[in-house]
Every structure is written in structure tokens, then in C-alpha cells.
Amino acid sequence: AQSVTQPDIHITVSEGASLELRCNYSYGATPYLFWYVQSPGQGLQLLLKYFSGDTLVQGIKGFEAEFKRSQSSFNLRKPSVHWSDAAEYFCAVGGYSSASKIIFGSGTRLSIRP
């Protein structure tokens, strides 16, 4: 079965501290992996994506993610968080075809401690 698991429902990090959000996936074919961010009442903004190539991908706003096939993981990281990073983060998986649906995790809410 295709699925995405984000084990942390809510994380609080101090401003300036490093961040890692966990994501594990199950997908039968070669996955197309995404991280999205959603601010309250807003739509989804793509942070980064991975399909092939270098397993460490850089995204917007200083985020990066590492694909580990052996662990079926795609964790999101940021070396130093800013108060504006407080939001909901969704990991997602899909196929490379435009006909593929995207399967989302349940999200991790990030709070920033001043």
C-alpha cells in the first residue's frame, strides 16, 4: 500500500536551533518525493522535491532533505530556524507521471520558541 508517515505531530524548536522533520514512505514504484509547507489558512507551497540524482536536495527558505532508499525516508532539515518557519509541514509521495496522485502524510506542526 502507498502511504506516508510523519511520526511527529507537533515539534517545538527554539529560534536559531536546527530542525529535522521525519518522513517515511511506502511506494511500489520509484517515488517522486515532496515537502510542502502550509501556513494557517493558506494553500500549499512546495519547499523541495526529489526524483533522482543527488540524494541531498536543496529547497527554498534554506531547507534541505535527504533521500535514503534503504530506510524509505525523506527527512527535512534546516540548520537554523527562524520564527517565520512556524507552519504545518507535509511530506508527500507520488509517481513521476502527471497521471499520478500525490499521497500526503498527516503533517507536522512546527512551533518556534523565541
Partner 1 sequence: ETGVTQSPTHLIKTRGQQVTLRCSSQSGHNTVSWYQQALGQGPQFIFQYYREEENGRGNFPPRFSGLQFPNYSSELNVNALELDDSALYLCASSSEANGEQFFGPGTRLTVL
Residues in contact with partner 1 by CB under 8 A are 4, 32, 34, 36, 41-46, 49, 51, 90, 92, 94-107
Task: Specify whether the CB–CB gap between 11 and 21 falls below 8 A.
Answer: yes
Q: In terms of DSSP bridges, do strands 32-38 and 24-26 run parallel, antiparallel, or are they unpaired?
A: unpaired
Specify the residue, 17 or 46, whose C-beta has the smaller distance to partner 1.
46
Task: Provide the 3-class DSSP secondary structure of residue 39.
Answer: coil
Find the shortest distance in angstroms from Cβ 80 to partner 1. Answer: 27
- CB nearer to partner 1: give 78 or 107: 107
Residues 60-99: b if buried by 16+ CB within 10 A, e if exposed: eeebbbbbeeeeebbbbebeebeeebbbbbbbbbbbeeee
Q: How far is the CB of 4 from partner 1 (least distance, A)?
A: 8
Least distance in angstroms from the C-beta of 79 to partner 1? 26
Nearest approach, Cβ of 16 to partner 1 (angstroms)?
28
Nearer to partner 1 by C-beta: 43 or 114? Answer: 43
